[in-house]
Amino acid sequence: MELFFLFEQVVNGLVLAGYYLLIALGLSLIFSVGGIVNLAHGGFYAIGAYLAVTLTPHLGFAPAVVVSPLLVACLGILFERFVLRRFYREDPILSLLVTFGLAMVAEQAIRMIWGAAPLSQTLPSGLKGGVEIGPLLFSKYRLVMLGVVLAILASIWLLLNRTSFGRVIRAGIQNPDMVGALGIRLQPYMTTVVMIGVGLAAVGGALFAPITTVHPAMGAEILTIGFIVVIIGGLGSFWGVVLAAVLVGVVRSITIQYLPAASEASMYILMFLVLLLRPRGLLGERMAKFEG
């Protein structure tokens, strides 16, 4: 019976991993191509959650989960055009300061528009309840979320590895000077990458709004975990981020059940151990800085 219980925690950990992956993958993509550490990323996650809660009474739950990330992706165009584009060639500390300031602006804007009180998202009746698999009981909605995250992960992998867009992005990560010498401008690709990155964060906010508290500071809370996953996985590595998200999610889920007091510390200990053995992260690569 103990083995079944452990398996249940592993599945719950995979759901957490999907949550972290949506945040960390966007962070990793933006850094890999643009060399920008986006501290405003959590703000897009929070906006995605708030938009989903706001749109659900008008559109329904599923359409709201789709429309919210699309609207946030459009914000990503403005974000890249008027903010990030100015800092590709500058000292990285400047982009850190600007995106940190933007994160504060986003949080206060949420307070002004939606108020400081937490909001709640209501699940449709069809997604409530559980699914019995042998002696185990799993949340129906969490299993659906896990399926959605896997579908998104497969789509991103196909985009990066089976399309001309992905080939340019991968070449730009490894050698942006060579891409420029071939007459290919990375700027339009960077705009698309930012749209995808912040859109993924918004998907995370929209999907997890029903099982978490929607409040103005939720972006700052998830951002730390997102960076931990990216650091453990290794900067510039798609599968490194995926592997790190799974490790952090499963470790936290098991720790919460067996040693609740150490659940928060577990991911920091995991990061320390990985960096002690692999300073670049699990699958980190060397990267050249994007120059426009």
The letter for the amino acid at 285 is E
> How high is the pLDDT of residue 165?
84
Confidence check: pLDDT of 3 > 80? no
The four Cα atoms 223, 276, 153, 140 give a dihedral, to 10 degrees, of: -70
CA distance 112 to 120: 18
Q: Which of 57, 44, 50 is nearest to 209 (CA)?
A: 50
Q: Tell me the two tokens of residue 182.
A: 């071939």
More confident position, 164 or 50: 50
Confidence of residue 178 (pLDDT cuts 50, 70, 90): low
> How high is the pLDDT of residue 215?
94
Confidence check: pLDDT of 247 > 50? yes
The letter for the amino acid at 116 is A
Confidence check: pLDDT of 169 > 90? no
Residue 185: φ, ψ to 5°: -85, 125
**Domain extents in the chain:** 12-123+136-214
Residue 237: φ, ψ to 5°: -110, 115
Q: Percent of the chain at pLDDT above 90?
A: 49
Q: Are 213 and 72 in contact (CB under 8 A)?
A: no
> How high is the pLDDT of residue 99?
93
User: What mean pLDDT do residues 25-38 have?
Assistant: 85
The letter for the amino acid at 129 is G
Q: How far, rounded to the nearest angstrom, does the alpha carbon of residue 36 sit from its chain's CA centroid? A: 15
Four-residue CA torsion sign, 232, 235, 240, 243: positive
User: What mean pLDDT do residues 244-254 have?
Assistant: 92
